[in-house]
Structure 1
Amino acid sequence: MAFSAKRIAVFFVTVATIVSLGACGSASGSSTGQNSSNGVQTINVAGVTGKKPYTYQEDGNYTGYDFELLKKIDEKLPKYQFKYTTLQQDALLTGLQSGKYSLASCSFYGTAERFQTFDYSKKPTGLSDARLIIRSDEAGTINSLADLAKSGKKLAPIPTDDARYTLINQYNEENPNNKIEFEGATEKSATVADVLKSVAAKKYDAAIYPYTSYEAIKDELNLNLKLTDSIGLFPTVFLYHKGDSTSQLRKDVDKVLQEFRDDGTLSKLSEKWYGEDVFKLKGADKVDSVIYWK
Structure 2
Amino acid sequence: MTRFVRRISAALVIGITTISLVACGSQSSTGKSNDNNSVQTVQIAGVTGKKPYTYQDGSNYTGYDFELLKKIDAKLPQYQFKYTALAQDALLTGLQSGKYQLATCSFYGTAERFKTFDYSKKPTSLSDARLIVRNDEKGINSLKDLAQSGKKSAPIPTDDARYTLIKNYNAENPKNAIQFEGATERSATVADTLKSVGSGKYDAAIYPYTSFESIKNEIDYKLKVTDSIGLFPTVFLYHKGDDTKQLRQSVDKVLEELRSDGTLSELSKQWYGEDPFTLPGANKVTDVIYW
Q: Are the counterparts in 2 of residues 13 and 111 from structure 1 also a CA contact under 8 Å?
A: no
Q: Are the counterparts in 2 of residues 13 and 112 from structure 1 also a CA contact under 8 Å?
A: no
Q: How does 1:194-273 map to 2 (within 5 A)?
A: 194-273=192-271
Structure 1 unpaired stretches of 5+: 1-7, 21-29
SS at match of 2:231: strand
Q: Which residue of 2 aligns with 1:183?
A: 181
Q: Matched residues in 2 for 1:110 and 1:159: separation?
A: 13
Q: Which residue of 1 aligns with 2:56?
A: 57
Q: Which residue of 1 aligns with 2:29?
A: none
Q: Which residue of 2 aligns with 1:91?
A: 90
Q: After the TM superposition, which segments of 4 or more aligned residues of structure 1 sit over 6 Å from their partners?
A: none
Q: Matched residues in 2 for 1:269 and 1:59: separation?
A: 21
CA RMSD of aligned residues (A): 2.2
Q: Which residue of 2 aligns with 1:73?
A: 72
SS at match of 2:228: strand
SS at match of 1:101: coil
Verify: 1:11 aligned to 2:8, yes or no: no
Shift of residue 178, structure 1, vs aligned partner:
2.1
SS at match of 2:200: coil
Pick which of 169-178 and 258-267 moved more.
Answer: 169-178
Give the aligned residue type for 1:11. Answer: V
Shift of residue 181, structure 1, vs aligned partner:
1.8
Q: Are the counterparts in 2 of residues 12 and 290 from structure 1 also a CA contact under 8 Å?
A: no
Identity %: 72
Residues 102-153 of structure 1 show CA distances to partners (whole Å, capped at 9, x for unaligned) of 1111211122232111111100001111110001111x31111011111111
Shift of residue 40, structure 1, vs aligned partner:
1.0
Q: Are the counterparts in 2 of residues 33 and 41 from structure 1 also a CA contact under 8 Å?
A: yes
Pick which of 234-243 and 154-163 moved more.
Answer: 154-163
Q: Matched residues in 1 for 2:231 and 2:274: separation?
A: 13
Q: Matched residues in 1 for 2:78 and 2:213: separation?
A: 37
SS at match of 2:227: strand
Q: Could you state the TM-score of these two structures normalised by the residue count of structure 2?
A: 0.87
Q: Are the counterparts in 2 of residues 233 and 284 from structure 1 also a CA contact under 8 Å?
A: yes
Q: Could you state the TM-score of these two structures normalised by the residue count of structure 1?
A: 0.86
Number of residue-to-residue matches in the alignment = 270
Q: Matched residues in 1 for 2:288 and 2:148: separation?
A: 26
Structure 2 unpaired stretches of 5+: 9-14, 25-33
